[in-house]
Amino acid sequence: MNVELTLGPRPEEPGPPIGGPDSYTPEVSARLAADAATVVARYPQSRSALLPLLHLVQSEDGYLTRAGIAFCASQLGLTDAEVTAVATFYSMYRRSPTGEYLVGVCTNTLCAIMGGDAILERLESELGVHHGQTTADGKITLEHIECNAACDYAPVVMVNWEFFDNQTPSSATELVSALRRGETVTATRGNRLCQFRQTARILAGLDGGDDEGAGPGEATLAGLRVARELGMDS
- pLDDT value, residue 210: 58
- pLDDT value, residue 126: 95
- pLDDT value, residue 2: 46
Burial class for 145, CB neighbours closer than 10 Å (0-12, 13-18, 19+): buried
- pLDDT value, residue 224: 82
- pLDDT value, residue 209: 60
Q: How far apart are CA 49 and CA 134, in angstroms?
A: 30
Residue by residue, DSSP assigns 14-59 as PPPPP-S-SS--HHHHHHHHHHHHHHHTTSSSGGGGHHHHHHHHHH
What is the full per-residue pLDDT of the chain (234 aa) written as tens digits?
443 434 444 444 567 788 888 999 999 999 999 999 999 999 999 999 999 999 999 999 999 999 999 999 999 999 999 999 999 999 899 999 999 999 999 999 999 999 999 999 999 999 999 999 999 999 999 999 988 888 889 999 999 999 999 999 999 999 999 999 999 999 998 789 999 999 999 999 998 765 555 567 777 788 888 888 888 876
Q: How far apart are CA 4 and CA 7, in angstroms?
A: 9
- pLDDT value, residue 17: 81
Q: What angle, 0 to 180 degrees and rounded to 10, lies between the N-to-C axes of helices 50-61 and 26-40?
A: 150
Q: Which domains does the chain have, with CATH numbers?
A: 26-87 (1.10.10), 101-196 (3.40.30.10)
